[in-house]
Amino acid sequence: MAKSDLPETVPSKMAMSGRKVKILATLGPASNSPEMIRRLLKAGVDAFRINMSHGEQATHAATIAAIRAAEKELARPIAVLVDLQGPKLRVGTFREGRAVIRHGNHFTLDSDPAPGDETRVCLPHPELFGILRKGQRLLIDDGKLRLRVIRADGHAVLCSAEVGGVISDRKGVNVPDAVVPVPALTGKDRRDLAFAVEHGADWVALSFVQRPEDVAEARRLMGGPSSSGAALIAKIEKPAAVDRLDEIIELSDGIMVARGDLGVEVNPEEVPPLQKRIVAATRASGKPVIVATQMLESMIESPAPTRAEVSDVANAVYDGVDAVMLSAETAAGAWPVEAVTIMHRIAAQVESDPGLGAQMDYTEIVPDHTTADALAAACAQIARTVTISGIIVFTGSGSTARRVARERPNVRMLVLTPSIKTARRLALLWGAYPVYTRDIGSFEEMIAKGKRMALRHGFAAAGAKLIALAGVPFGTPGATNLLHVVTVTGNELKRHGG
């Protein structure tokens, strides 16, 4: 098991809040100071995102160090997610820094590196010229300009401007109607991936995934969670990825619904049903799913969200997502702590709705034909039948906790693990309250420690019933085979000396 100088987890205010969905907040210039990181954690953040599209590695290293210092100070496992930039396509430069493309006019993207004008610009991605076909779309600057291909050859693409406007240097290009033959990981991404592994990232997010092979390539470079300590999240933000969603989920450790670029490449009205489809498919797999981008966008400048944004966050919670993410709201906004506080309040309000369980049960979860999955399903059923205060899960790898979370029981999990890597990764898992603690060696020790930890962390009081789930022999990966219902007397801490 991983060694850590983090002491055994101690109770936190968020343990008492009972919130099951997790909050992932992006750090940036407005929030990456040690003091602000502590404030965000106390406001309700469970995990932090480091966006490699902005900033330097040295700055990100200092940010990760500040997170780990706060983790040690608060004695609470915190997940760090490093988000890779991915292969972003961009146009070249213009003679005057910008140009105006008139609606209905022709415009050419070519291989000539000379600065562009209102009739043409360089597209420094030769791999695109061979795949574009008549009728396909090119979207510039997050879809502000929309071009339709008239004809293409190996050196130039002649387009008609369906939506014109101002185009400036190095604006992004989206190609929604084709699978772009670019590597999933650029040279920068490979360097950033090595940085993430070296600095102990718990999750790595892979941007602009198009096919399962993209995930497999990142997995090969990472070496897997057992060697790197990092799990892999595939960001679904391209129509090509949606077409092969099940294969991508199978190869990933988690999924992010990245609605920014996804909302550029498909029609706006298509995004909500796609979000629900991706969430449902990922939940059914038993892997964490995150909904991201523009959740409380107005709070970049305003201390209060719009009603539509509140409904958007609430809708994701009703769908049973594992985590909701804040982007610029916390990275660069004027109200980062307030954004986290509002998101926490929305989630807590939804989770107090008696109808939440019925809403989440719309996603049919069929347990795998294993003892571990059968016991996880039994936990949820027992908790619905008997008054249960919580589920205590003993795990080394986290697989038992993921199986229980997949069932979305009506009580939270107190997850006890001797692996700090596992505890940190589980900070993004729905309903999991991970506690880093010493290992156990016997059934009697398991029950005694489970009761003590439940009392200490506010999961139970005298007379409460708990479900304990573990695998025997202890320490054997994937050996979940024991379910035990216990009753807390309330004296367990006294007998153990507090």
User: How confident is the model over 413-469, as pLDDT tens digits?
Assistant: 999 999 999 999 999 999 999 999 998 888 899 999 999 999 999 999 999 999 999
Whether residues 199 and 135 share a domain: the answer is no
**5 assigned to some structural domain:** no
Q: Which of 296, 329, 327 lies closest to 310 in space, CA to CA?
A: 296
Residue 1, domain member (yes or no): no
Q: Are residues 394 and 296 in the same domain?
A: no
> What's the mean pLDDT in 354-377?
83
109 in Cβ contact with 138 (< 8 Å): yes
Task: Give the Å distances, CA to CA, from 44 to 189, 338, 413, 427.
Answer: 30, 10, 18, 12
Q: Give pLDDT, residue 103.
A: 95
The residues annotated with a catalytic role in the active site are 49, 90, 235, 293
Tell me 237's DSSP state: -
Same structural domain for residues 194 and 290?
yes
Q: At 451, which CATH number?
A: 3.40.1380.20
Q: Are residues 210 and 139 in the same domain?
A: no
pLDDT tens digits, 110-163: 999 999 999 999 999 998 998 999 999 999 999 999 999 999 999 999 999 999
Q: pLDDT category, 184, cuts 50, 70, 90?
A: confident
Mean pLDDT over each residue of the chain, to the nearest integer? 92
358-369 residue pLDDT tens: 888 766 677 778
**259 and 127 part of one domain:** no
Indicate whether 3 belongs to any domain.
no
- Do 211 and 239 lie in one domain? The reply is yes
The CATH number of the domain holding residue 36 is 3.20.20.60
Same domain, 83 and 95: no
Per-residue buried b or exposed e for 157-176, using 16+ beta carbons within 10 Å of the residue's own CB: bbbebeebeebebebebbbb
pLDDT band at 167 (very low <50, low <70, confident <90, very high): very high
256: left (phi over 0), alpha (psi -120 to 50) or beta: beta
Tallying the residues shown for the chain, one arrives at: 498
CB 331 within 8 A of CB 51: yes
Co-location of 57 and 133 in the same domain: no
Query: Is there a contact between 156 and 108 (Cβ–Cβ < 8 Å)?
Result: yes
Q: Which domain holds residue 428?
A: 371-495
Residue 362 lies inside a defined structural domain of this protein: no
pLDDT tops 80 at residue 228: no
pTM, to two decimals = 0.92
Distance (Å, whole) CA 486 – CA 492: 12
Q: What is the pLDDT of residue 13?
A: 53
d(CA 91, CA 450): 58
Other Cβ atoms within 10 Å of 489 Cβ, number: 13
- Give mean pLDDT, residues 79-95: 96
pLDDT of 1 above 50: no
Strand partners, 22: 323
417, 478: one domain? yes
Same domain, 489 and 395: yes
Domains of the chain: total? 3
The answer on 230 and 317 residing in a single domain is yes
Continuous H helices in 408-460? 420-425, 443-456
CATH number at residue 130: 2.40.33.10
